[in-house]
A and B are shown apart, each in its own frame.
Chain A
Amino acid sequence: MSVIDLGFLIQKPPYKSETSTLGLTHAISYQVVDMLLEEGQGVVPKVCFVGEGVLNCLKGHKAMEHYGVTSIETHIKNALLVDLDLYVCKEDLERFGISEDRLIDADDMGAEKKLQIVPFSEIQNILNNSKHILVF
């Protein structure tokens, strides 16, 4: 057995439903999946934001202030901090007129990973190379 890639496709806007948060929290849980698997087995989530899902990646969420819940921004930062690969669709960012400097980073937390802006063709490749795809 080996390590497998799982594609996580986040396509809903933030806070419209619970799905974006659940996509991120399920992905982050990969950190402890080892305790339920055998030696050498593992999963590597590849989180892809497409369509309205790219709106999750805008910085400056005020979820705690308005809804009393942990923000999706915090979940994205945590995901970067635990070295997940997070991909944002370049074409969809352009469609919404969102520049790279408006996107979340986790520099303040010391994360080495950053959101990766990639063309949709690359996201297709990532999903094609994933053993399973979970759509949120």
Chain B
Amino acid sequence: MGVLTIGCFASLVGSKSLDFCLKLAKAAVDKGHKVNIWLSSNGTMSAKANQKHLKDYSHSEKYMKEFLEKGVEICECEACALARGIQKSEAIEGVKWDAMHWYLAKIYNSDRVIHIGGE
């Protein structure tokens, strides 16, 4: 099985790019691939805990928790999160906080990389 790293810079709400990333990650995990997810820029908001699932808005917490249980490594850019007022204590438990070199290191060890840029 392969290693897939997904970098997502798009926001959870306001675009469907992050929703696409999560569903793509789920498909890969279900097929037995190792998946890493890097959240940067507006993508960092998707790792915030206690999201209310309103039907009109995308929702990531359920996916994130499921991924973490299945061994997916999820990491968000600490600087991007702090700049948006998101504290580590507010993040979904198990999500890592690190800097951009984490993403480059995961890319190094990946068979495929899908980089979804921001808006």
A interface, CB within 8 angstroms of B: 4, 6, 17-19, 22, 25-26, 29-33, 35-37, 41-43, 132-136
Contact = CB atoms under 8 A, between A and B. Distances in A.
B102 to A, nearest CB: 7
Nearest to A36: B105
Interface of B: 7, 9, 40-42, 99-105, 107-108, 110, 113, 115, 117-119
Nearest to B7: A134
Contacts, number: 59
Given A17-B118, A43-B108, A36 B41 contact: no
Contacts of A30: 101, 104
Contacts of B102: 36
Contacts of B42: 18
Contact of B108 (A26, A33, A35, A134): A33
Contacts of A135: 115, 117
Chain A interface, >50% SS class: mixed
Contact of A25 (B100, B107, B119): B100
Contacts of A19: 9, 41, 117-118
B14 to A, nearest CB: 13
25 contacts: A18-B42, A19-B41, A19-B118, A22-B9, A22-B41, A22-B118, A26-B103, A26-B104, A29-B99, A33-B101, A33-B104, A33-B108, A36-B101, A36-B105, A37-B105, A43-B104, A43-B107, A43-B108, A132-B110, A132-B113, A132-B115, A134-B7, A134-B113, A135-B115, A135-B117
